[in-house]
């Protein structure tokens, strides 16, 4: 399990390879740097893959689904059974994420991490045992071979409460700064969510230096699995595109376990959920876009995968000034 596992995660820094990739980027038939973030994406993927000719041959969106005992505190306007119903919708191809996956040629991988078997109500007891948290991380790691470019998605009624609690615990922020409306809470519902997180933090006193302990106290099975996906992908030198608030809370855990793992993460977007900006700031992450998304499922990550594939195609397929016979200043 994670507590005894030695992660073999290397930083992607490679000055000579970076110079070769940058030299090709600068030789393409365009003004230097004119493709902006698309150029830095191609560079990151090349460094992750350890090659000056990166490629995207397979794409998968791994959507982890789980239920949360914290819904007993009235922190969601939707009942817990919606998690199961939405997982069935994913499998039937009728959800937003499956439409996006079809459109972009991404293989959807739907994973039941605890649908109908919720974590415990963390306002009253730890959400998981340490062993359960470690097992969920290990299961997430097992999906790192799903493709050479991975997306991380999730579904779980109540999981914005876990994500907000994890941010409060790791970053030392009051829940009033991290807890938002989730799937559409009114003001009274947001107040209940803030109160539930405050009670949980007082009960568990999670130690940011012990990320597995924080995760076990406050997290969800699907959040643990996404953290595992990030860690497993980093070991295999594969990029992971994370979605919004919940997926990024898993990145908080992955970073605390193995800081180098974030070299392999692309942050797709800044969501409309309160607290996500603070979460991204804590991660020192610069998302690709801000479209006021707050759906989850991996919807933003699918858009991010498309941008990465676009950046790699431009890098590989554009002519150079020499090959096209175009004058270069």
- The yes-or-no answer on residue 297 being catalytic is yes
Q: SS3 letters for the chain? A: CHHHCCCCCCCCCCHHHHHHHHHHHHHECCCCCCCCHHHHHHHHHHHHHCCCCCCCCCEEEEEEEEEEHHHHHCCCCCCCHHHHHHHHHHHHCCCHHHHHHHHHCCEEEEEEEEEEEEECCCCCCCCCCHHHHHHHHHHHHCCCCCCCEEEEEEECCCHHHHHHHHHHHHHCCCHHHHCCCCCCCCHHHHHHHHHHHHHHHHHHCCCCCCHHHHHHHHCCHHHHHHHHHHHHHHHCCCEEEECCHHHHHHHHHHHHHCHHHHHHEEECECCCCCCHHHHHHHCCCCCCECCCCCCCCCHHHHHHHHHHHHHHHHHHHCCEHHHHCCCCC
From 134, 222, 297, 309, the catalytic residue: 297
| Active-site residue set | 297
């Amino acid at each position: 399990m994670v507590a005894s596992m030695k992660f073999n995660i290397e930083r992607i820094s490679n000055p000579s390879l970076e110079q070769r990739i940058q030299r090709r980027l600068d030789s393409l038939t365009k003004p230097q740097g004119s493709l902006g973030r698309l150029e830095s994406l191609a560079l990151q993927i090349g460094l992750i893959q350890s090659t000056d000719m990166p490629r995207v041959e397979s794409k998968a969106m791994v959507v982890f689904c789980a239920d949360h005992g914290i819904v007993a505190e009235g922190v969601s306007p939707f009942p817990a059974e919606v998690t199961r119903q939405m997982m069935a919708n994913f499998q039937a191809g009728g959800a937003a994420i499956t439409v996006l996956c079809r459109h972009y040629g991404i293989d959807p991988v739907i994973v039941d991490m605890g649908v109908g078997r919720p974590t415990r109500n963390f306002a009253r007891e730890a959400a998981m045992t340490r062993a359960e948290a470690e097992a969920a991380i290990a299961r997430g790691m097992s999906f790192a071979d799903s493709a050479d470019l991975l997306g991380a998605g999730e579904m779980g009624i109540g999981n914005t409460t876990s994500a907000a609690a994890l941010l409060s615990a790791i970053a030392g922020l009051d829940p009033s700064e991290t807890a938002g409306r989730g799937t559409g809470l009114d003001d009274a519902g947001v107040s209940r969510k803030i109160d539930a997180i405050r009670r949980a933090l007082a009960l568990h006193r999670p130690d940011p230096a012990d990320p597995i302990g924080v995760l076990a106290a406050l997290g969800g099975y699907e959040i643990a699995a996404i953290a595992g996906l990030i860690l497993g992908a980093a070991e295999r030198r594969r990029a992971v595109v994370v979605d919004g608030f919940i997926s990024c809370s898993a990145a908080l855990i992955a970073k605390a376990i193995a800081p180098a793992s974030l070299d392999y993460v692309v942050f797709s977007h800044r969501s409309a959920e309160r607290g996500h900006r603070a979460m991204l700031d804590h991660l020192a992450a610069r998302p690709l876009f801000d479209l006021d998304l707050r759906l989850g499922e991996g919807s933003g990550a699918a858009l991010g995968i498309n941008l990465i594939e676009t950046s790699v195609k431009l890098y590989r397929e554009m002519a150079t000034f020499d090959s096209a016979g175009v004058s270069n200043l």
